[in-house]
């Protein structure tokens, strides 16, 4: 296969759906998820010790955090996996 053939080779649907292990944006997203997991742990303990807040801003933020968790769940199903033995 020549270099021109590789350059003009069309990507399949699979190439657009699979998130690479080396994806920079996914790495940043994983760090963000780690931060909001810490937030969620602290706030959950606060809600157990006291009661849930009536502040609309806190409730909105909690919904946004939950949406990020669901997005992470979906992204996990589309992330590339490499078998360590076969690589």
pLDDT for 58-76, tens place per residue? 999 999 999 999 999 999 9
pTM of the model: 0.74
* Three-class DSSP category at 54: coil
pLDDT-based confidence at residue 6 (cuts at 50, 70, 90): low
pLDDT in tens, 18-45: 888 888 999 999 999 999 999 999 999 9
Binning pLDDT at 50, 70 and 90, where does residue 57 land?
very high
Whole-angstrom Cα distance, residue 52 to residue 3? 61
């Amino acid at each position: 296969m020549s270099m021109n053939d590789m350059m003009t080779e069309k990507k399949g649907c699979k190439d657009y759906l699979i998130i690479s292990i080396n994806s920079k944006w996914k790495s940043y997203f994983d760090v963000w998820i780690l931060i909001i997991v810490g937030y969620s742990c602290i706030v959950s303990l606060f809600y157990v010790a006291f009661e849930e807040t009536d502040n609309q801003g806190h409730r909105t933020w909690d919904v946004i955090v939950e949406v990020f968790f669901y997005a992470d769940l979906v992204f996990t199903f589309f992330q590339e996996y490499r078998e360590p033995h076969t690589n």
